Amino acid sequence: METIAQALRRILFFADCSEDALARTARVAHARTYAAGETVILEGYPCQAAYFIAEGNVRVSRLSLGGREQVLAQLGPGQAFNTVPAFQAHGMNHATVQALTPAILYAIPAADLRRLVGECPQLALAVLHDFAERLDHLTNLVEDLSLHTVRGRLARFLLEHAEADAARRFTQEEIAARLGTVRDMVGRTLRAFASAGLLRMDRQRIVLLDREGLE
């Protein structure tokens, strides 16, 4: 049976850690399993731990006061979440995280993670790398939400997902949450695209017809 240290080694964050640092990390890491749809953490609650994904996929999102959801990221094996508030004094969870598929996560208490980063330079570098990627992603998201119309964001979303290898399914509600808009707006824009001949709405499929028109 795989030990916690072996499982952690497969996670990018810990790939370059020394055996000793990994053994110390393994002593404070707790393996947790989640069923699809289960909530891992809730936005606004005190940050207890940072989470590292060994298996499965999770969805990171925030809710506005009006109840509108914005999906910030979808993460998979090797990635981490709740690392930022773990380094803040009295940090609160910045987002709600839900398992999209059955998932195995390793939770490392915030205080232990701060201590380990001080002891292991490779882990400190991995955390900095993760923060840089996160900042880059959020900067792009802000640009997208503030500078592009829903029409433009939806067209790009459709083009990206039609070209993705893995066939994924979305509801109009899910698309709206990813684009920072509401479901009705997604429905209206899809109908407008269909009227313009850019796509066809089949049963259970959005069939793209005109790449140039969507670009």
Partner 1 sequence: MENWALPEFDLLLCDRCGICVERCPAGAAEMGTDGPFIARPADCTYCALCESVCARHAISCWYEVVWGTDT
Map tokens 């792009």 to a residue. 140
Which of these ranges, 10-18, 109-117, 145-153, 203-211, lies near partner 1 under the rule CB under 8 A?
Answer: 203-211
Residues 47-76 that bind partner 1 (CB under 8 A): none
> Greatest CA span in the chain, whole angstroms?
62
Q: Using CA atoms in the order 69, 96, 136, 177, what is the torsion angle rounded to 10 degrees?
A: -20
* Dist CA 174 CA 182 (whole Å): 9
User: Least distance to partner 1 from the beta carbon of 172, Å?
Assistant: 6
Among 61, 122, 172, 194, binds partner 1 (CB under 8 A): 172
Query: Contact between 206 and partner 1 (CB under 8 A)?
Result: yes
Beta carbon nearer to partner 1, 134 or 183: 183
Beta carbon nearer to partner 1, 115 or 191: 191
* Dist CA 46 CA 66 (whole Å): 22
Angle formed by the axes of helices 150-163 and 183-195, nearest 10°: 80
Which of these ranges, 72-80, 113-121, 144-152, 207-215, lies near partner 1 under the rule CB under 8 A?
Answer: 207-215
Angle formed by the axes of helices 121-147 and 110-119, nearest 10°: 120
Which of these ranges, 17-25, 51-59, 71-79, 168-176, lies near partner 1 under the rule CB under 8 A?
Answer: 168-176
* Dist CA 14 CA 47 (whole Å): 21
Among 31, 135, 192, 209, binds partner 1 (CB under 8 A): 209
User: Least distance to partner 1 from the beta carbon of 162, Å?
Assistant: 5
Query: Contact between 200 and partner 1 (CB under 8 A)?
Result: yes
* Dist CA 185 CA 173 (whole Å): 10
Beta carbon nearer to partner 1, 19 or 202: 202
Q: List the one residue out of 93, 96, 80, 91 whose CA is nearest residue 128.
A: 80
Query: Contact between 146 and partner 1 (CB under 8 A)?
Result: no
* Dist CA 24 CA 26 (whole Å): 5
Beta carbon nearer to partner 1, 77 or 180: 180
Q: What are the residues binding partner 1 (CB under 8 A)?
A: 158, 161-162, 167-173, 183-184, 187, 197, 200, 202-209
